[in-house]
Amino acid sequence: MVDRRHDDEKIEMLTTTNTHLSTGEPMYTTGTVEDLVSIFSAGETVAFDEIYPEFVHASGRVTEPDFESAGDVDDFIAALPVKEMREVYRDVCLGGSEECVHNFLWMMRWLRTCMELSEIERPNIQSRLRYYRCLLGRQRVKLDEHIERHIAMKADSNVTDEALERHCKEGLNWQTRRKVMFRLAAAMDVVDILVDQLKNEPHWKKCECAKCAYYSSPQWLQDRPDDLAPKALKPKWIRTRR
């Protein structure tokens, strides 16, 4: 995925634990971006020119003080079909067809509308990314310590199987929670890459594909269906609030 953000706008996440196996491989990794964002999906091809915008209510917004970030950004990201959005952007960056350009332009308009309705701006997304970078960094330190303790416990003959099992379950729970947050941060970063492209919107040409030409033609006025209501998007939801 092409990232055209300035270097000072990129917020890199820590991807692996510091604790390694004897082979030199990290004990715990997070996977590729494609894998991470796969759960933020509509489960089908999305026609962005035919769906309602998604939004979250900004009323009662609670701001996290250290980074001035708000949890409703999490809900906003979780409502988006990030997997399909990433694929649309990838296709247009690869010099896609007329249809790819059409999908991209409509997707970006749709995204802008979603943000306006949710009262979310790019600084809100970036503040939340900085918050997750800090939080994930602290959790990685805890995970490293937990894994090192687990290795020491296995080597200690005085440690019971029950104690080892409890310690292992605790570590697995930490890993699961961290993976969920890392998935959310990865999806948030993809959306930030797309939102960065909105600054170029005034320079984008009007879509002149056959579909848009038909929509603006007298023929469409004759052919249009009685029910013009947009479709409702049904993304796969995940729990984001801790």
Q: Would you give the end-to-end CA distance of the chain in angstroms?
A: 29
**Digit-coded pLDDT (tens) for 55-102:** 887 665 667 777 777 888 998 999 999 999 999 999 999 887 888 999
**Digit-coded pLDDT (tens) for 139-165:** 888 888 888 898 899 999 999 999 999
**Digit-coded pLDDT (tens) for 99-132:** 899 999 999 999 999 999 999 999 999 999 999 9
Domain boundaries, the chain: 32-128+187-223
**Digit-coded pLDDT (tens) for 178-196:** 888 889 999 999 999 999 9
- pLDDT for 57 equals 76
DSSP 223-238: H--S--PPBPP-PPP-
Instruction: Quickly count: other Cβ atoms within 10 Å of residue 214's Cβ.
Output: 11
- pLDDT for 91 equals 93
In 3D space, the residue among 109, 95, 12 whose CA is nearest the CA of residue 51 turns out to be 109
Mean of all residue pLDDT scores within the chain: 84
Rounded-to-integer distance, Cα 147 and Cα 203, Å: 52
